[in-house]
Every structure is written in C-alpha cells, then in structure tokens.
Chain A
Amino acid sequence: MPKTLIHATNLKKCYQLTKTNTVHALRGVSIDVQEGDFSAIIGPSGCGKSTLLHILGLLDTPDSGAYMLDGIDVMKMKSKEANSVRAKKLGFIFQGFNLIPTQTALENVMQAGKYGGMTMKQRKARAMELLKLMSLSDRMDHKPNELSGGQQQRVAIARALMNKPAIILADEPTGELDSATSLEIIELLKKLNRENNQTFLMVTHNMEVANACKKTIKLKDGVNAG
C-alpha cells in the first residue's frame, strides 16, 4: 500500500465578487494522491481546477474542508509554516513564462534551493546536475528570453525538482507548447515518475496528456464528476 501524500475532503472555496454576486469555485471537492501517482485533474474551463491546485499547493486557503499533506494538517498551519512546507515538500510548474526573467537558467533553478535551505555550494551542484538531466547543460547561462518554450519548461521542471519535493504540482504544463513539444515534456515527466518514483499531480486540458496519465480526476462546476 503506497503512502498517501494528499488526502483532502470536501474542499470549498468561494469568491465574493460583490454583495450579491458570489462565485463558488469549489463546492466540495475531495481528492487523494498516493506516492508514485501520475494523475491529471481534468474538466471544463472554469470548473475550479486551478483553484483546487492552488489550495493543494498551499498558495491559497479553502473556506472549509479537511486537508492532510504528507501527514500534516494543513488547516491548522500558519502562513509562515506554509512557506517552508511549500519550499521543502512541493514543486510547481506553471503554464508558461514562469521563470524569473533577470536570472539565468542556472540561477532560476538555484533560487529554489535558497528557499529550501541549501548552501550556495549545494545549490550550484544540484542545479547543474538537474539541468544536465534536462539536457540543458549548454543553456545554463541563458536568460529565459533566450530559451525556447520547451527549454523554459524544462528549466521549470529542474527548479521544481530542486528540493526533492514529495509531490510536483503542475497547472497546464504544456498549455503553451505545440503538441510535439508537449509530448516531449510529458515523456520527461513520466520518465521522472518511472525512474525516481516522483509523484505528479497536473491540471490539463489536453486529452493526449490526460491519456498519458495513470489516473484522472474529473471536475465539473466545482465538484467531483464521475
């Protein structure tokens, strides 16, 4: 029986736009993620996928519900602790353009190590190792705007791996890439899953990507569907 990393039940989140207009982004979503999972959250636009991922990634807080992350009760956590838990246990990959534009590829990857509490030496060594793994050894000193979309996304993956996170959360990691590059990225993620037992939870629109995943979680109008 693999370890349960995420155990969330009945998560609710609404946005009060005006006094009379409330958007219910999540109306009670439950989700479980086991170690070694490679899962996709799918559903129509606006159904609350990103909102869910943000809550699971401690970037946002739910209005109600229960959430245990790797045995920690997230609902009782202060925002200060959330920062360090995020640095150590979670990795993020976003849709695109999520690198710091003034930093080189190497510096972008090293930045995560800084928040994860690594020494400068450790950071540099690990970042170089990861970029090599992403076949970017010859692009380490390039700024994001000197890299292709696929290359940028590979830098982001290296950064997500930096602190050896328990789980990597990805919001449409292939959203801005052409289909060939998308598959290339997905293959890379799958390889990390297969070889390192790295857990992934991603949001996607792309059915090809969803089909490549071992599990899918369907959402509709802020609740679990099917």
Chain B
Amino acid sequence: MMEIFRNMLRRKGRTILTITGITVGIFAFTVMGSMALRFNKIIGGGKRYITGQITVIPKGSSFGDSAGAFLPLDTINKIAKVDGVQAVAGGVSLPLVEPDPNNPTGGGIGQQASIQGMDLESAYKNRNWTTMQMKEGHMLEKGDAANAVAIGYTVAADQKLKVNDTMKIRGKDFTVIGVLDQTLTGPDQYVFMPIAAARQLLIDSTPFLKSLVEQSTAAANISAADLAKLPAATRTQLLQAKAFKVEDLSQEAAVSWKDGQDSETVANRIKDQFKNDVIVLSPTKLGEQIDNASAIFNAIILGSAVIALIVGGFSIINTMIMSISERKREIGIKKAIGASNRSIAWDYTLEAGVIGIVGGLVGLGIGVVAILFINHKTAASGAEIFLLNPTFMIGVVAFSFVLGVLAGLIPALRASRMKVVDAIREL
C-alpha cells in the first residue's frame, strides 16, 4: 500500500494532473447528481400526490396552465355522480406573487411558491396524501375562516411566519392557521387557502376574468322582457355572460375514487361520459408523464457520470500507460524474482484505483463545499437547488474507485503480459 503512494509521489506533477482530471469529472458528477436528486425528490413527491387522484381539466387547456378554460360547477357535480367516484373537488392554483410583466419567468431557479385553492366543502381526499404533517397549527378544513391559510414549510421560513400571523398575499390580508412540516417536495412551497379566496385573487389579477364577471353581473340585471327586444347576436352573448358564475371558476378538479374501485376504470368512465368537455388524466398516465420528466433529470446524472468517466478514465489510462512504460524495468525485476502475472496486474490496477479514489474524494469534497455554499445562498430565497444524499456520496467515491480500476485494468493487464525478457533487456 505504501508503495502505491510512493509511486504516485514519484511523479508528483503527473499524478496531480491525473487526479485533477478525475477531480473535475467527479466534481461535475457530484454537483449535477445532487441537483438531479433534488429535482427527482420534488418530482417524486408530486408524483405521489398526483397519482393519488384522478385529475380532470377542461378541454382546451393543458395541464398546469393557469388561465384558459374553466370547469363549470355543473360538470363537477355531474362527475361526482359517476359510478365509483367518491368525491370531486374543484381547484384553483396561481403563483403566490403576481408575475412581473417585465420578467414573466420570475427569475428564480427551482420551484416557485404558489397558492392552492381548496374546496373545503367537498369530501374529496387524496389517496396517497390523506394527512399532511403539521409543524404547528392545523391544516385547512371545513369551517375555517374565509381568509385562513395553511402554509408550506419553505414559505413560512422565507417570510418568518408563525400561526396567527397575518400574511399579505397580493395586497390582501390572510391569517396563518397552520404551518406544514417540511416535505422536501412541492407542498413546502404551497399556500393553501379556501377556493373562494383563491378565485377572487385569480379574478383580480386577470383582466379578462374581471370583465367577464362584470358583464355577468350586468347581464343578470337585464330583465327577460328587455332581453327579448335585443338583436339575436347580442342576446346570445348576454345569455352566455349571464350563465357564467364565479363558482364555475375551477381550473381543474381532483376526483377521488371509492374504496375497492380501480382508478383506471373510474377514470375511463368519466372519460366516456364527458369526453366533449374535459380531459381526464388517469393516475397511471400521469405517473408515466412524471417518470418521463424525472428520466430527463436522471439523464443529467448519467450524462455527468459519463463526462466523469471519459475525462477521468482517459487521464488515468494515459498516466498508467506512461508510468508502466517507465517502469518496464521494475516489472521485469518483479517478474524475474517470481511475481505472477496476477500479482503484477493487481499492483497496477490497485494503483489506478487509488488514483481514482483520491481524485474522487477531492472532487466530492469540492463539490460538497460548492453545494453547501450555493444551498446556503439560495436558502434565503427559498429554493435549495441541491440535495446531498449520503448514499449518493458513497456511491460517487465507489464510482471513482471503480473508474480508476477499470481505467487501470487495460494498462495493468498489458504490463502483466509483458514478456520478461523484453523488460529484462532494458536492465
């Protein structure tokens, strides 16, 4: 073992360069990997939530789009009567902070805080997420005040909010009744509020909805007699406006199924009956969609591993080939005094493995320092980008060792098969 370090020290400059090569690769691997782990965790939590319900969205909107088509209350009530459906809850979600028109993406990396409007009257319960662990207070429930909010861990931490504090959201005052425990996933960034309050915030920030509501109120004041006198086109328009009710303002609905029912079957039943009005996202389908998304992040891990592999691997191979041709004599001597091929191959493979693990440890160390630093900086703005997972870190070190061993294998085997006379002739 000591000999390995002495051999590495014999050519300090070269060893350092090789180790630097691996360090760079492993650093990238650590950082990218931790980022992917973080995203995977968020996505995984989201998946658990979203596969615990059948999500229904109106036709003409894509999933997650905030303004667009809406689900009429009437449809929601009808879906609730479908065989196998336990309950339906309409939902509204919008960003916690009104997007800045000059900077619509909000400028933040990671997930943004959002408002989740909850239909407290509904008996709906997510199958996978029946209770939320609370840090303090309680989760929003039937009978809570119209301006009550339950907030996620990160939101509370960012704004230093406790139960009974007043929270200003888009210019309005709300009372915090509960703070959720950390989940390391989506809910950390949620503000749960009664759906009516969320609807009002949505209307206030959407000029189109605002005018729709005004027209509707105006239309409601026109008597049937007056209406009959108007031209046909105007009449239809007014009738449509009159038909619009604020309660109809749900961007999506979450459907829970009765015990013993198969979620796919229930989803298909809803699909069959309402195929003209809604899109039904079955838990299985959504799970697949989410898996596709996390596959992208896993590709990031894999991609950075490949970079580490190429950069580090080649520099080890290069170094080992050079150092072996330099040490031809030494190999000759060892063989002359009886070393087996296996023992020669083992010596050099192990040396490459040690170079790999040293590079790996340094790369990991720098990566962890960088991650802690960036996480510390971004923690202030609420979104930690990296997740340091001990298993992953052990894996990284093991990976760098295996990388070294694999890269050293070919040169080491070459060294072991070297004909002794060729090596001895150089004496």
Contacts and interface: CB of A to CB of B under 8 A. Distances in A.
Contacts of A115: 334, 337-340, 343
A99 B333 contact: yes
Given A54-B424, A59-B424, A95-B427, A100 B333 contact: yes
Contacts of A71: none
B132 interface: no
Nearest to A143: B6
A94 B341 contact: no
Given A101-B330, A103-B3, A112 B421 contact: no
Given A59-B421, A98-B333, A100-B333, A84 B340 contact: yes
A121 interface: no
The B interface is mostly helix, strand or loop, or mixed, namely helix
Interface residues of B, number: 21
Nearest to B424: A59
Interface string B135-160: 00000000000000000000000000
B338 A60 contact: no
Interface string A51-93: 0001001011000000000000000000110011011101110
A80 B333 contact: no
A83 B335 contact: yes
Interface in A102-116: 102-103, 107, 111-112, 115-116
Interface in B329-357: 329-330, 333-341, 343
A59 B3 contact: no
Nearest to A58: B420
Given A84-B340, A115-B339, A115-B340, A98 B334 contact: no
Most chain-A Cβ atoms within 10 A of its Cβ — which of B333, B336, B424? Answer: B336
B103 to A, nearest CB: 61
A87 B337 contact: yes
Given A101-B330, A103-B3, A112 B424 contact: no
Contacts of A126: none
Most chain-B Cβ atoms within 10 A of its Cβ — which of A80, A90, A102, A160? Answer: A102
B334 A100 contact: yes
B420 A112 contact: no
B324 to A, nearest CB: 14
Contacts of A107: 3
A112 B335 CA distance: 10
Contact of A94 (B3, B6, B330, B427): B427
Nearest to B343: A115
B210 interface: no
A99 B427 CA distance: 10
B10 interface: yes
B355 to A, nearest CB: 15
Most chain-B Cβ atoms within 10 A of its Cβ — which of A84, A88, A94, A116? Answer: A94
Contacts of A91: 337
A112 B337 contact: yes
B7 interface: yes
10 contacts: A59-B424, A83-B335, A86-B338, A87-B337, A87-B338, A94-B427, A100-B333, A111-B337, A115-B334, A115-B343
Give the 5 A-B residue pairs with the shortest CB-CB distance, closest first. A87-B338, A115-B338, A59-B420, A102-B6, A112-B337
